[in-house]
Chains A and B, each alone.
Chain A
Amino acid sequence: MKGRQVKPIIHIENVHKYFAKIHALCGVTLDVQRGEVVVIIGPSGSGKSTLLRCINRLEEYDSGRIVVDGIPLDTAENINTVRREVGMVFQSFNLFAHLTVMDNLVLAQRVVRKRPRGESEKVARGLLEKVGIPDKALAYPIQLSGGQQQRVAIARALAMNPKIMLFDEPTSALDPEMIKEVLDVMLALAQEGMTMVVVSHEMGFARAAANRMLLMDEGLIIEEATPEELFSSTHERTKKFLGKVLH
């Protein structure tokens, strides 16, 4: 892990989030360093998605502070700036259903980054190559397998040249035989030094890529450790949870 003295690229400070009566985040504090890969695990409903969604302000938080790459998430302008720098990959892919794979990758480059079409398409082709589906540029999302859709979704986020990538259970909607192709892409990305915050229960991926793992429960980070430390943890709730995930 990189030195703590370096200014974190994501700084989360005592963030609380309520959904009506539900206290989804109960004072989460977390720093993520540049180039770090953080894997978050935890039972369903523990606030993992909510935390991730707060980082790019898809969810508003009720109190606390989040600063991304030196930009506090307070004004609407700052939020859009941060979103440009933070890529997000969803469990359900969320590819634009009315656009081809190519146009999925090109759209935001054009309207957000204001890149000319030719350049946007070049970036898109390069990324499709990278995620291993160069021949699907003209297909529509519905014509692709789940694994292919998720790889397109990753490429779409990367096309914006994000500094940070957030993954919210990127493989849990996939059939088992497709999980590896997506994890391989993520692993390659981690090895290139991308800052990544990943919610996932793929322990193989965590072991191979994570600098740090976080266990969340009931809206709090209850344990924070390297994969090796976490897997041999003596913490009662951690053991119980890992028991379930690791079978």
Chain B
Amino acid sequence: MRQLVVAGHGMVGHRLVEELVEAGGLEGPDGWEVTVVGEESRPAYDRVALSSAFAGAGEDQLTLVSDGFFDTPGLRLLVNEAVAAVDPEARTATTTSGRVLAYDHLVLATGSRPFVPPLPGKDLPGVFTYRTLDDVEAITAWCAGRRTGVVLGGGLLGLEAANALRLLGLEVHVIEMAPRLMPVQLDDGGAAALRTRIEALGVHVHVGASSQAILAGPDGTVSGLLLADGTELAADVVVVSAGIRPRDDVARGCGIDLHERGGILVDEACRTSDPAISAIGECAVAAGRVWGLVAPGYKMAAAVADRLTGGDATFEGADLSTKLKLLGIDVASVGESHGPGAILDDPGSATYKKIRVDEEGRLVGAVLVGDASSFGDLVQLHRSGVVVEDVLSLLAGTAAPAATGPSALVCSCNSVTTGDLVSAIEADGICDLATLKACTKAGTGCGGCVPTLKGVLERQLAAQGVAVRRGLCEHFPDRSRQDLYDICRIGRVRTFADLLASHGQGKRGCEICKPTVASILASLGGGYVLDGEQAALQDTNDFALANLQRNGTYSVVPRMPGGEVTPRQLMACAEVAEDYDLYVKVTGGQRLDLFGAKLDDLPAIWARLGQAGLESGHAYGKALRTVKSCVGINWCRYGVQDSTEMAKLLELRYRGLRSPHKVKMAVSGCARECAEAQSKDVGVIATEAGWNLYVGGNGGFRPRHADLLAEGLSDAELVRSVDRFLQYYVRTGERLERTAAWIERIDDGIDHVRRVVVDDSLGLGAELEAQMAAHVEGYECEWAATLRQPERLARFQTYVNEGAPT
């Protein structure tokens, strides 16, 4: 057995071990015994997704180490322990706890450290860097209850940090020394568009500004930042994100060659000047530079794993094209982005696009800000070297998509091509996305390629004759909810029986298709949801117009738009709760939930609530629940618009709208986001310039931050956008698919939704609005409608035979 020691258990170090195991490098008498030494307190995790830790993603979600991985014989992981020194003569590495590890080969994968400029005050409590999960925990803890933050550095990581602070509820200033944001990736025009968008989110941007000192308050913690021009910014927290430096300290100590500006020099095999030592990832200077992205690091790991198993792979550089989502804004650069090119610059929508071609017409580079939907195509063009026929149509986004041959790169984080995917699908008989991701690693980096991945999978399965089953259930084996919606809408089918006879099979239907169709018919203006055949289709909750609880009783939730309730209504709730012995809980949706009602008592309870002016809250339906709001401009010192009034307007407009799944909304009165709008299906945040509309957020077991759909909207524009968005979701969502999953499923995701809702690219706008107008017009409280007709009350009876002769 040969001994391999890996110093550093970060993204690249872990990838090396995985590659080695996969290549069979642990097997045989000549196999490797691997000891990984990691300085952090936990095994390797997804640093690229670090910002999601602010949104609550834990170690479990971020970890890169699959269950039981280090139980593999021949693998050993030491965490919380660093390699302190290396003796290249003796071939030993000594750790911080004094352990001496002999090696036949040593791999340095020590990554980099944040660079902190030597500013006075840089060590004050409240000054942080942003690289590790520990950093995230420390920043989160410190920010609780604090109000303003400053981020030093307006590059990729700085802007990520700024977003994190914003999400923690702070007012944020970003200080960048260069004359523009993201100076490495963007040109002036792109940076300007990015700045406009970021400022619209309430983040203050200072470019061309150099810092003089971090200031301390009387309590000895950070109180602000002094700029070179004398400006003083107040700050309760400072995050320094002024670049990274390779961690070459161990290498330096053992005398191997370093680059003059730091970093461990390696050859094309990633070998250092000592052939028994390799260096990979951000600590290495390979092909002449430090590569600050994960994809090149992974390539180095693959090369070294290959060499360790007798191969001769090399690392010769990597594509630095990147697509990022920063503060919900798409930013991408392809190839060499600096230099002259054809530019589309629309300050109105704050979108910017630059495309650079050489004299022969081949794509050299591109910059995209605000809309990066053409990123995939541009990377293809860049890579293939195909001559661009018409730069202007490429710029306008009307050119045909790039060639998608087998060498087309789909996942740039893990270098997976269409060809790789196709052979995996064919060879391993893969037929779902999760397995495809697990087997090929595609889509497991930044996730940007997942829609493409899905497309490749579906095309390939179709080509293999495997039916892509989007069918709902055995009664509609090849119809999705969307298909059924279209059939009902266009074919004017208005009963379940007709639909089953004409487009389904078998009899009766089941617990899956019945409520789905009931919801579709309701969205298409089916009237009272319990009349005629519809009664047999509704789930228990819709059937009882209340929520069934685990003990067979129901809960009752009256609507309280904007969380407002009159004393009289509150008394009505209190009285029924007392008379019917109900447990009362204030919900997260800012209303009251009354638990423990018996089926027989529901009509009487609702008669009393109705008299007080309360109506059904639709907590039982797949429908709009509540629109949460903060107090906004009426009470709050920070509010810039009337969030409560807007929440009421939205709730009253969309109440009762049946949809594929429940819909939650929120409205915040300013960028502090007290109503948590970005975790809702529809979230609205007030800015000085108008409303910003976010969609596709989710809380629950799979939290997701909403995507920015449109910004700076007037009241009327907001309502129109939400009308279109909701109706489009109702049309095309699948059964029990929340907006978050819906956006992730559909091709091109939020970009597609934006084109439909904002640009009206499908020409559906007027129709969707008309449909919503009809809904608003036709709305009636379901409980009022029930109580109005005594024969509708018969079902609220526990036993049919009560009082019957026995």
**Co-complex (A, B):** no
Which residues of A line the B interface, CB within 8 A? Answer: none
Which residues of B line the A interface, CB within 8 A? Answer: none
